[in-house]
Amino acid sequence: MLQLEPGMMIWTWATFIVLFLVLAKVAWKPLLSAVEEREKTIADSLRKAEEARTEAQQLLEKHQKMMEDAHAEIQKMLQENKQLAAKMKEEIIAKAKAEAEKLRQRAEADIEREKEAAILELKSQVADIAIQAASRLIQESLDDQKHRGLIDQYIKELDKLEKN
């Protein structure tokens, strides 16, 4: 069976303590420092990963904000273009109406001038016909200027009657 010998126990404990002290001096500190270094590396990696995640989140939010701003700007530009197109349409229509009005007025003025010219021509022809008719009736030829004077006076009297 197993017997405990005090000498063996002392040497076992002495060896254990010496080995423990040697390991504490030689191996324990490097192992602890390696573990601590590994903990620091892991903690730094976790911190950097968290910073990267936070930065990525901020970039995503910034990108979304930029997209919203761009969308709003596009909508604003579309609205401005619609308003500009409507304004241009109104200006074109107004110009066309003004041009049509000018053409109408010019046409009316031309018609009035032509009417006046036709009336003058008609008066002249009526005067000539009246002189010829009067000459035949009277059977005597009067002075052409006298006839014209009489006819012009008659026409003026007709114009006065017409205006009244």
Other Cβ atoms within 10 Å of 145 Cβ, number: 8
Can you give the residue range of the structural domain that contains 84? 44-163
Token match 């324990």: residue? 28
* Residue 94, token pair as written in the block: 């107004």
Residue 144 counted as domain residue: yes
Residue 5 counted as domain residue: no
Residue 38 counted as domain residue: no
Other Cβ atoms within 10 Å of 151 Cβ, number: 19
Amino acid 128: pLDDT:
74
Residue 3 three-state SS: coil
Residue 51 counted as domain residue: yes
Q: What is the pLDDT of residues 45-80, one digit of tens each?
A: 999 999 999 999 999 999 999 999 999 999 999 999
Amino acid 164: pLDDT:
60
Residue 7 counted as domain residue: no
Residue 25 counted as domain residue: no
Residue 92 counted as domain residue: yes
Domain total of the chain: 1
**Whole-structure pTM value:** 0.41
Please name which of 113, 132, 161 lies closest in space to residue 151, comparing C-alpha atoms: 132
Residue 143 counted as domain residue: yes
